[in-house]
Amino acid sequence: MAPSAIVTGSGSGLGLALTLALAARGEHVVAVARDADRLRTVLGGTVGVTLHPGDVTDPGLGAELRERVGDRLDLLVHNAGELGPSPLPRLADYPAAALRAVLETTVVGPLQLTQALLPAVRRARGTVVGLSSDAAVEAYEGWGGYGLAKAAADHAAAVLGVEEPDLRVYAFDPGDMRTAMHQRAFPGEDISDRPEPATVVPALLRLLDSRPPSGRYTAASLSAVAS
Cα distances from 63 to residues 6, 52, 114, 124, in angstroms, run 13, 12, 11, 18
Q: Is 146 a catalytic residue?
A: yes
Label residue 186 by pLDDT band (50, 70, 90): low
- Given a contact cutoff of 8 angstroms between Cβ atoms, the answer to whether 34 and 82 are in contact is no
Name the CATH superfamily housing domain 5-226: NAD(P)-binding Rossmann-like Domain (3.40.50.720)
- The domain ranges of the chain are 5-226
What digits encode the pLDDT tens for the residues 90-146?
999 999 999 999 999 999 999 999 999 999 999 999 999 999 999 999 999 998 999
What pLDDT score was predicted for residue 196?
Answer: 87
User: How far out from the chain centre does Cα 77 lie?
Assistant: 5
Label residue 68 by pLDDT band (50, 70, 90): very high
What pLDDT score was predicted for residue 188?
Answer: 73
Label residue 178 by pLDDT band (50, 70, 90): low
What pLDDT score was predicted for residue 176?
Answer: 77
d(CA 62, CA 136): 26
Give pTM, 2 decimals. Answer: 0.94
Residue 7 has pLDDT above 60, yes or no: yes
Q: Find the catalytic residue in 94, 146, 170, 217.
A: 146
- Is beta strand 75-78 parallel, antiparallel or unpaired with respect to 49-53? unpaired
What digits encode the pLDDT tens for the residues 214-225?
999 999 999 876
